[in-house]
Amino acid sequence: MLLSGKVIIITGACTGIGKAISIKCVEEGAKVVINGLEEDLGIALIGFLGEANAHLVIGDVTESHLPHLLVEMAIKTFGKLSAVVNNAAFIATSDIDDTEIAFFEKMFKVNTIAPFALIQAGTKELSENAGCVLNIGSINAWGGEPHLLAYSVSKGALMTLTRNLGDSLFRQRGIRVNQINPGWVLTDKEKLNKKEQGMKENWFEDISGFFAPSGRIFKPEEIANMAAFLLSDYCGPISSQVFDMEQFPLIGRNMPKDIVITN
């Protein structure tokens, strides 16, 4: 198994990509400390994973005590800390006209500062165990959509954090730091969000080839498969890298014939 003997903290783990990563990690032999806000869903996930394999910590990642609590729970429950997955995120629309400063600050607290705080809290233990960090970003980090201004900027900052720490921490303390930038992922929340925005019940079955050349968008389990590899020793000394999980090139894309660009 890819992750046998490893102990991994996963934030935002009660739903979506974080939940899929938690399940995959346990399937691959790891013990996990899962964090999220949805207590009922977290308890259900613990029941699925088994109490011998998983421990739940409910709490907001921006709370100052939480990073150290998660590290302490990993050590207390499973004896060590091997890896951290910073998956928890705040996603909300905003543009130049409606992005208030308080909103911008909250976006950075969740998406950039909280991942840094957890890495900082776990550095000693990760160093002792030749550990690693995996940050979950977004392809919006490269610029982003017009209505995702604050979110995109916060994920861009996370990407710089990954590259910086992936170099310095690996050189100085042997801790690898990498990032996955997922494209469009079919989570339960995404299904609901699009329905609330007026799209039909089965909107994900009829997506333009411009957005999904394969005819579908990513499953959370596919992001989890990539995560398991990067958390494992099988990937070797990969560090400071950002992996864009998308179906098309983000730069230099050949435009489909049915797409017309006008000035």
- 151 among known catalytic residues: yes
Percent of the chain with pLDDT over 90: 81
Please provide residue 10's backbone torsions phi and psi, each rounded to the nearest 5 degrees: -130, 120
87 within 8 A of 35, measured Cβ to Cβ: no
DSSP codes, 166-206 = HHHHHHHH--EEEEEEE-SB--HHHHHHHHHTT--TTGGGS
Domains of the chain: 7-183+218-245 (3.40.50.720)
Whether this model's pTM surpasses 0.85: yes
Answer yes or no: is pLDDT of 71 > 80: yes
Q: Give the span between the Cα atoms of 205 and 115, in whole angstroms.
A: 34
Please tell me which residue in 45, 119, 148, 151 is annotated as part of the active site: 151
| pLDDT number for residue 259 | 57
12 within 8 A of 18, measured Cβ to Cβ: yes
User: 74: how many CB neighbours lie within 10 A of its CB?
Assistant: 25
Token readout for 11 is: 């934030």
Residue type for position 199: M
Quickly state the pLDDT bin for 250 (edges 50, 70, 90): confident
Q: Return the residue matching tokens 């905003």.
A: 94
Quickly state the pLDDT bin for 191 (edges 50, 70, 90): confident
Residue type for position 95: D
Mean pLDDT of 137-150: 94
Q: Give the span between the Cα atoms of 30 and 246, in whole angstroms.
A: 27
